[in-house]
Structure 1
Amino acid sequence: MTAVPEWMRPPRPEGWYADDLDTLAEAPRHTELIDGALVFMMSPQRVWHARTVTALVNALTNQAPPGVEVDREITIRLDRWNRPEPDLLAAAAPYDPSRTFYTPEETLLVVEVVSPESAHRDRTVKLRKYAEAGIANYWRVEEEDGSPVVHAYELDEPTRSYVPAVIHRHGLRTTTPFEITLDLDGLVPARKA
């Protein structure tokens, strides 16, 4: 068996803190912190996932009102022990090129594009954590017959849990968290040879 690298050992008995992620230069790209434990995205992404994320970032960026930033793969510091990295998010925050995370108060929308290795986290763990942190809108994007299907959730403030709002197939039209119109069937077109 290979020894665990020294940098992977938690710096304290209760685990890692959210701020520790900024000092872990050795950690692989896309390292998240869930309940004080490091979570690595080690498996390769499928092309469908990558293109869906890129298309959503481009579409939401083009439709975002002034003062709303759309970013991919930037963490959200939910609390001291949790700093997940959604596929993309929209935040009401000024542009800061040195930013490494957003806060729940700044975050308007979190989007997770489900992959086989992230399905459990995206459908249950992150759904609960984002809601408990008070993020108003969560989209879980699943693949159906090659097209993205958006499962939209809205926060129920008193219970700090998400309620399903709508499932968008073929197209998406909403005013939450800002006006967005998407042709879901045309979002990730297959390229012709």
Structure 2
Amino acid sequence: MGALTSVAPKASKPTWPIPPEGGWTADDLDRLPDLPPHTELIDGSLVFVRPQTLFHSRAVDYFTWQLESVAPENLEVVRQFTIDIDRQNRPEPDVVVVQGDVVEDPGQTRFPAESVVLAIEVVSEESVSRDRETKPLKYAQAKIPHYWRVENENGRAAVHTFELEPTTGAYTGTGIHRERMKLDVPFAVDLDLTLIRARRHKDQ
């Protein structure tokens, strides 16, 4: 009788949802089971986000906290929350400033794009083309008046600011800010960008 040989079980492969004809819709993000956190919908396709860097996390925290402290009372600042642009586009800005009357209840999962005053994206290695090209185009088409893109320049933040040009419907660059960021729109801010890197040592 031959020796018994053990066969190692095959590693189970992750199963991803198969898109329907025409692609996924904005409503599907709330219905699909077991989606990874921060899944976005771009042009009917699901976009999965890799684990974020420490710089990314600190930058998102910084802008959330700082803008909450200076935003007018009629506006709300929310981190990493999806917005409805159209049936096939439901992106998730890293930080979003919206009209306060659309913040309805703790169970809501999205904001309408027309309520967005400012969208902020912190660029990651895997999101460069989306944050520099795809998302600004979508946000401009949705008539979001202000867009900020935060770049990591050797551990220091550089914030590229854009404003919607009404005659063209496209964004125009209004500045690149390093170390200090002082603006009057969409509301007055005066930010020390060096704290994004050194925030954990601010009391020393």
- Which TM-score applies when normalising by structure 1? 0.92
Give the whole-Å Cα distance in 2 for the aligned partners of 1:88 and 1:182. Answer: 16
2:96 is equivalent to residue 89 of structure 1: yes
User: Could you say which residue in structure 1 is the equivalent of 2:69?
Assistant: 62
2:22 is equivalent to residue 17 of structure 1: no
User: Could you say which residue in structure 2 is the equivalent of 1:75?
Assistant: 82
Structure 1 position 171, deviation (Å): 0.7
Structure 1 position 191, deviation (Å): 4.3
Q: Deviations over 1:9-33 (max 9, x none)?
A: 12x3101111111112311111100
Instruction: Name which of 44, 53, 57 aligns with 2:51.
Output: 44
* Aligned-partner SS, 2:58: helix
Amino acid at match of 1:47: L
* Aligned-partner SS, 1:178: coil
Q: Please tell me the root mean square deviation across aligned C-alpha atoms, in Å.
A: 1.8
> Any residues of structure 2 matched to 1:104-183 within 5 Å, and which?
104-183=113-192
For structure 1, the residue ranges without an aligned partner over 5 or more in a row are none
Amino acid at match of 1:158: T
Give the whole-Å Cα distance in 1 for the aligned partners of 2:144 and 2:111. Answer: 11
Give the whole-Å Cα distance in 1 for the aligned partners of 2:200 and 2:95. Answer: 24
Structure 1 position 37, deviation (Å): 0.6
* Aligned-partner SS, 1:117: helix
User: Could you say which residue in structure 2 is the equivalent of 1:33?
Assistant: 41
For structure 2, the residue ranges without an aligned partner over 5 or more in a row are 1-10
User: Could you say which residue in structure 1 is the equivalent of 2:112?
Assistant: 103
Kindly report structure 1 stretches of 4+ aligned residues shifted beyond 6 Å: 1-4
Contact 1:55/1:188 (8 A) holds in 2: no
Aligned residues: 190
Amino acid at match of 2:65: N
Give the whole-Å Cα distance in 2 for the aligned partners of 1:160 and 1:57. Answer: 27
Pair 152,25 (structure 1): closer, same or farther in 2 beyond 3 Å? same
Pick the structure with greater CA Rg: 2
Give the whole-Å Cα distance in 2 for the aligned partners of 1:170 and 1:190. Answer: 13
- Which TM-score applies when normalising by structure 2? 0.87
Structure 1 position 158, deviation (Å): 2.5
Give the whole-Å Cα distance in 2 for the aligned partners of 1:184 and 1:170. Answer: 5
Q: Deviations over 1:155-175 (max 9, x none)?
A: 012222111111111111112
User: Could you say which residue in structure 1 is the equivalent of 2:3?
Assistant: none
Q: Deviations over 1:32-83 (max 9, x none)?
A: 0000011111x22111110110111000011111021100110111001000
